[in-house]
Amino acid sequence: MEKGTMSSIFKKAWFFVLALLVVSFYGPLIKEGGSSEKPVIIGMPISLYTAYGRDHKKALELTVDEINAKGGVKVDGVMRQFKVVFTDTRDSEPGVPVHDAIMAAEKLILNQKPDFLVGAFHRSEALLAAMDMLADNKMITFSGSPQTPLYTNRIKENPKKYKYLFRSAPYAVSVGVFWGGVLQHINKTLGLKKLFFIAIDFEWAKAIVKSFEGIAGKAGWETVGFDYVPAGQADFSAALTKARKSGAEMILLLHDLPEAPVCLRQWKAMKIPTMLSVIWTPAIDGPRSWQMYGDSLNYSIAAEFPAGGSFPVKNLPGSEEWINAWLKKYKDPPETSASKAAVYPAMRAIVDAINRVGRLDRDAIAEAILETDLKDISGRIRFEKEAHQMVISTDLSKGMTFAAFQWLDGKRIVIYPKAIADADIKLPPWVKK
Amino acid sequence: MDLLIFGTCNSILLALIATGFSLTFGISGVANFAYGAIYVCGGLFVWALISKAGFPYLASIVISIITMGLFGYALYWVFLFRLRGLVLNEVIATFSGGMAILQLLRYLGFHGYEYALPPFMEGSIEIGGVGIELQRFFMIGIGAALVLFLYFFTHHTRLGLAFRGMSQDERTAITLGIDSDKTAALALAFGSSLATVASITILPLGIIDIDRGFDALIFALAVGMVGGLESVPGVIIASFILGFSQQFVAVFFGSAYTMVVFLSAIIFVLAVKPAGILGKFKELEERV
């Protein structure tokens, strides 16, 4: 090849490389400048590689897509879109120290500079330990799965310091109150009154069993025994044998690990003459559970939050919209029954508060969130003024409601609260009343 | 009767989990701490073949057992061949490898409630008035068949006799023409296949979960320590002692105390007979 031709090729190549560099440096800036305004950033620090983590992430993306499709939110008179950023706190993984989860969240706050945090953390320990860091950063935060009442108690004790912290999901106390109602309903409908607890050998489950004993007593039940099963155990025969010997008429299973369905299989195989209800057991109350465990779930009772979050409730018109939108975007149904919990009410409260305040002033928005009063398909979105806790109630005119349902031949039949119930509870054929 | 039936089931479950680990250690001297990861991978591989590739269940099981066996074989030649005899290095290599595999599976999203193997057959039967799932019943059959197979294999096949020779005295076995490295690699392969047999039999009772890999390793170690890490008959005896003890404790004291059975048994055996019930490796030291 001639020298002149070579030189021409090199010149062209240099020009190409230079153009590429210019585009890669300035391209994103041009794009950013091209969009109307800087987006409002929603951060989610959560244990991402879990069923709850994945569902919360998808729920946030879905909700934000819907809000953005409607134009976003008006800040300082200009419509702005939402942008979501995530970090993996790993706080649900075994052996991960709490400070790792907090560091991940703090890194997200410092690097990505979110305006709000939604669905924050998986474990109560991480959320409690992060409270001061979140308050120091004036970060408006809606917690995710953590169940501890200590979170809201601390907010109540020091409302000035924790004015930016909220919870838009149920927690141990509201779960207990709701299940108290379910038990009372079962007691009145079927006349059952002897209760046996099978719970995973974790502190949260023990605490709920302890509080449930009192709640069940008030609902007309007598606790006849309990058994705590270690994590990883795939044999519940001893616990079920004890339940049978105790004369129990209802077993309440508190177990959030994947082996929980074994209990139902053995309950059926051993023909234990009791009803069986499950609390916080995603492997059983999730939308995909029947597909996986089929007939062994028949007649068991579970609950979801909010009602209509993972399947359409006949008596809640419009509740099919969420799950239909989910299926359209993701094809597969959510993994847990809590896909809508925490994230969706939080985003509605955020949008409403920004619209009322009209600017991204964190103090003003935190105060506006406390004044939230929105009608929703599953009830009403409001917050307790002192505890910053979203109001949970079976009265749809007061707060957001759970739905207790019974698995019957692959369908989830809502049995409680009465306002949205499809049918009465049915006793399994092997249980004699 | 409940105690007898479920005690037997529990014992077979422990024996299934621990046999592969013990066999590998007995023959090659390698404590394969990646055993829990192999256990989970075997189950997940069957799940993937059935639900993603549309393979029939039986074919998926066979393919998975063979593939995990090949994985174990490769594990020896790629990672352990150069470390053989350096006990601490072997432990570090296999443990970190196992952890890396489990964390990779978690990162890839194999952690949730949707990864489950279907039972071989749905339904339940009654034995002596006690209802039991068919899968658990099959588990007893598979466990018994495995013991018979291992006996036949180690007493009547060339490879099995080589395995026994290696486990009794490696140097003498070498002088008789047995290739030490090749036999050790085959032991890793065999142990990995047995881990897969265990996972395919046990996991349909619940869900395939990454954390079950840690449990499988802990169970295998605990049973091995009580029975004698290198002794398959010792491991089977220990499985029955621990399995029935756990069931007894669960029924009469509470399920939460079942883990205490392992701990107590390990402490007792270490104090009285550190080699384990039928273990030989530390017998000389014990006499000294």
B13, B107, B255 ranked by CB distance to A227: nearest: B255
Q: What is the pLDDT of residues B40-55, one digit of tens each?
A: 999 999 999 998 899 9
Distance in Å, alpha carbon of B117 to nearest chain A alpha carbon = 9
B6, B107, B214 ranked by CB distance to A235: nearest: B6
Q: Which domain holds residue B239?
A: 2-107+134-287
Q: Can you state the percent helix, strand and coil of chain A, rounding each to 5?
A: 45, 20, 35
Q: Is residue B124 part of a domain?
A: no
Distance in Å, alpha carbon of B181 to nearest chain A alpha carbon = 36
Q: Which of A199-213, B24-38, B271-285 has the highest mean pLDDT?
A: B24-38
Q: Is residue B154 part of a domain?
A: yes
Q: What is the spatial distance between Cα A68 and Cα B15, in angstroms, rounded to a whole number?
A: 57
Cβ of A283 and B113 within 8 Å? yes
- Please name the residue ranges forming H helices in A137-229: 149-157, 172-190, 203-218
Complex confidence, ipTM: 0.75
Segment B127-145 shows an average pLDDT of 86
Q: Tell me, what's the pLDDT at A404?
A: 93
Q: Tell me, what's the pLDDT at A19?
A: 60
The structure tokens listed for A394 are: 């079976």
* pTM for this prediction: 0.77
Q: Tell me, what's the pLDDT at A4?
A: 55
Q: What is the spatial distance between Cα A78 and Cα A418, in angstroms, rounded to a whole number?
A: 45
Q: Tell me, what's the pLDDT at A35?
A: 46
Chain B residues within 8 A (CB-CB) of chain A?
A: 2, 6, 9-10, 13, 106-107, 109, 111-114, 116, 122, 124, 130-133, 202, 205-207, 209, 211-212, 214-215, 247, 250-251, 254-256, 258-259
- For residue A262, list chain B residues with Cβ-Cβ distance below 8 A: 205-206
Q: Predicted confidence band at B168 (pLDDT cuts at 50, 70, 90)?
A: confident
Answer whether A55's CB lies under 8 Å from A338's CB: yes
Instruction: Find the angle CA(A221)-CA(A249)-CA(A198) to the nearest 5 degrees.
Output: 85
CA-based radius of gyration for chain A: 25
Q: What is the spatial distance between Cα A382 and Cα A389, in angstroms, rounded to a whole number?
A: 8
Q: Tell me, what's the pLDDT at B288?
A: 45
Answer whether A403's CB lies under 8 Å from A420's CB: yes
Contact residues for A402 (Cβ-Cβ < 8 A; gap 6+) = A170, A178, A303, A304, A305, A306, A307, A392, A394, A417
Q: Is residue B162 part of a domain?
A: yes
* Mean pLDDT, chain B, integer: 86
Q: Tell me, what's the pLDDT at B116?
A: 82
CATH number of the domain encompassing residue B186: 1.10.3470
Distance in Å, alpha carbon of B213 to nearest chain A alpha carbon = 10
Q: Tell me, what's the pLDDT at A112?
A: 94
3-state secondary structure of B220: helix
Q: Predicted confidence band at B123 (pLDDT cuts at 50, 70, 90)?
A: confident
Q: Is residue B240 part of a domain?
A: yes
Q: Is residue B227 part of a domain?
A: yes
Cβ of B258 and A233 within 8 Å? yes
Q: Is the pLDDT of residue B172 over 80?
A: yes
**Please, is B141 exposed, middle or buried when counting C-beta atoms within 10 Å of its C-beta (0-12, 13-18, 19+)?**
exposed
Cβ of A283 and B205 within 8 Å? no
Taking each helix axis from N to C terminus, what angle separates B258-272 and B211-227, rounded to the nearest 10 degrees?
40
Q: What is the spatial distance between Cα A10 and Cα A27, in angstroms, rounded to a whole number?
A: 25
Cβ of A237 and B6 within 8 Å? yes
Q: Is residue B118 part of a domain?
A: no
Report how many domains make up chain B. Answer: 1
pLDDT in tens, chain A (433 residues): 455 555 665 566 665 566 655 555 554 444 444 445 789 999 999 998 888 899 999 999 999 999 999 999 999 999 999 999 999 998 887 778 899 999 999 999 999 999 999 999 988 889 999 999 999 999 999 998 888 889 999 999 999 999 999 999 998 888 888 988 999 999 888 888 899 999 988 777 787 788 788 888 888 899 999 899 887 777 898 899 899 989 999 999 988 777 888 888 888 888 889 999 988 777 788 888 888 888 888 999 999 888 888 888 988 888 899 999 999 999 988 888 877 888 999 999 999 999 999 999 999 999 999 999 999 988 999 999 999 999 999 999 999 999 999 999 999 999 999 999 999 999 888 777 6
Q: Is residue B126 part of a domain?
A: no
A49, A283, A293 ranked by CB distance to B107: nearest: A49
Q: What is the pLDDT of residues B79-111, one digit of tens each?
A: 888 887 788 888 898 899 999 998 888 888 787
Q: Tell me, what's the pLDDT at B115?
A: 84
B113, B205, B256 ranked by CB distance to A335: nearest: B113
Cβ of B250 and A239 within 8 Å? yes
Q: Is residue B114 part of a domain?
A: no
Q: What is the spatial distance between Cα A260 and Cα A284, in angstroms, rounded to a whole number?
A: 8
Q: Of all helices (H) and strands (E), which one includes residue A379?
A: strand A379-382
A234, A259, A335 ranked by CB distance to B114: nearest: A335
Cβ of A227 and B256 within 8 Å? yes
Segment B187-209 shows an average pLDDT of 89
At A252, give phi and psi (nearest 5°). Answer: -110, 115
Q: Tell me, what's the pLDDT at A12?
A: 62
* CB neighbours of residue A179 within 10 Å: 24
